[in-house]
Amino acid sequence: MRIAETLLDESRVHRVDPVNLREADRALFAHERERQLPAVRLREYRSVEIDAWGILFQNNRPLGISFASPDFAPGFHGFRTRCKYALRHFRRRRISAPEEIFWFTDNLSHEYFHWLTDALPRLWLIRDRIAGQMLWLPEKFGSKSYVAESLKHWNLGGIRYLDKAELLICPRVWIPEPAAPSGNYRDSIINELHAFYAKDFSERGERLYISRARAPRRRIENETAVIDCLASLGFRTVHLEDLAWPEQVATLGRAGCIISNHGAGLTNLLFAPRGAAVMELRQRDDAVNNCYYSLAAARELDYYYLLCDAVNPGEDLHTADIRVEIGELEREVRRMLAGKSAL
């Protein structure tokens, strides 16, 4: 591997506090108000094999850049695991890649949040270099409709999804490093992606509540009461999984106020117009999941939050359902609606 080029210099990002920040909650956000973002480089790899899961191998060893975090990599380095993958690779049909290809995904990139906020910013950094070229992606990306929809206007030579029976043999692979650590953003790239996808919608100001009722985790136990409360304040409930991806972009592009509990639906803040307001219903004492606070800051949205108790205290932050205190919700939403920048 060699470093071919520096795409972005090291930089520092500054974020404003939530609009309704309480002094007692400052520690939940303080460590995210300023972040140092590392330089981003374009790496060159020679003689690489890529399997249908998007794991890159060199000399039968997985490359760390295949993974979103070093935590995912250790299990791939054991002797037995290496033997297992060597046997699988032996059985697969070898597909010869062109003399050089670009690769920009990791083992989490197929998930909606990671696709839009981690993978696409990496692709954006090399958009001029991939013009007219075939884009190679792991097999499971083909079942995600938002992947193909979001790549429609990228001036590509096509998309090729690797089959489970295939192994891509690459003489040379160019890989841009992540534009920022996951959950953090280069404001300029986020806003350029917004301009690329979100049209200048003439009708703006809709009040939206994004429901996670159909999600397998992180739901709201008393959502019926939440919906009734918000409906009385002019909010329309949407289930984004019912909408085709372009409709999701358009729906959020017309939004003035957005409310949801922590989850992938808030990734669509990427498309919300500057100056819109968002309220995240989040678990009490959660100082870890600040990705939407940071995304709102990058898009210059007014960020509000409401802390809620877990239905099962002690359950993992990434899975726990929450219970919303309705009186507190109404009070904070009215405060948000009274904000001068709420559309």
**pLDDT for position 60:** 81
Sorted by sequence, the CB contacts under 8 Å of residue 100 that are 6+ apart come out as 170, 171, 172, 173, 174
Sorted by sequence, the CB contacts under 8 Å of residue 216 that are 6+ apart come out as none
Residue 299's SS3 state is coil
150 lies in the same domain as 218: no
321 lies in the same domain as 214: yes
Backbone angles phi, psi at 66, to 5 degrees: -70, -15
Q: Are 308 and 281 in contact (CB under 8 A)?
A: yes
324 lies in the same domain as 252: yes
Q: Which of 149, 176, 203 is the last residue of a domain?
A: 176
Q: 248 in the Ramachandran plot: left (φ > 0), alpha (ψ -120 to 50) or beta?
A: alpha
63 lies in the same domain as 144: yes
Quote the radius of gyration of the chain (alpha carbons, Å). Answer: 21
What letter represents residue 310's amino acid?
A
Alpha carbon distance 84, 15 (integer Å): 46
106 lies in the same domain as 47: yes
Q: 97 in the Ramachandran plot: left (φ > 0), alpha (ψ -120 to 50) or beta?
A: beta
Query: 293-325 pLDDT, tens per residue?
Result: 999 999 999 999 999 999 998 888 888 999 999
243 lies in the same domain as 294: yes
Residue 235 in any domain: the answer is yes
**pLDDT for position 342:** 43
Q: Quick one: tokens of 29?
A: 């956000």
Residue 185 in any domain: the answer is no
Residue 200 in any domain: the answer is yes
Q: How many CB atoms lie within 10 A of CB 26?
A: 12
Q: Which of 123, 150, 176 is the last residue of a domain?
A: 176
207 lies in the same domain as 325: yes
For residue 253, the domain's CATH number is 3.40.50
Query: pTM of this prediction?
Result: 0.93
Number of domains the chain contains: 2
Q: Are 173 and 65 in contact (CB under 8 A)?
A: no
Residue 18 in any domain: the answer is no
283 lies in the same domain as 168: no
Query: 28-43 pLDDT, tens per residue?
Result: 999 999 999 999 999 9
303 lies in the same domain as 253: yes
Q: Which of 176, 204, 228 is the last residue of a domain?
A: 176
Which residue range is the domain that position 152 belongs to? 40-176
β-pairing verdict for 101-102 and 166-176: parallel
Residue 239 in any domain: the answer is yes
Residue 6 in any domain: the answer is no
Tell how far CA 89 is from the center of its chain: 31
Instruction: Using the Cα atoms of residue 319, residue 69, residue 151 and residue 124 in order, give the sign of their dihedral.
Output: positive
171 lies in the same domain as 287: no
201 lies in the same domain as 103: no
139 lies in the same domain as 59: yes
Alpha carbon distance 226, 219 (integer Å): 12
Which parts of the chain register pLDDT below 50? 341-343
Locate the DSSP E strands across 118-188: 134-137, 158-161, 166-176
Alpha carbon distance 300, 269 (integer Å): 10
Sorted by sequence, the CB contacts under 8 Å of residue 48 that are 6+ apart come out as 56, 57, 58, 63, 170, 173
Residue 295 in any domain: the answer is yes
- Residue 301: which of 29, 13, 16 has the closest Cα? 16
Residue 316 in any domain: the answer is yes
**pLDDT for position 98:** 92
Q: Are 326 and 229 in contact (CB under 8 A)?
A: yes
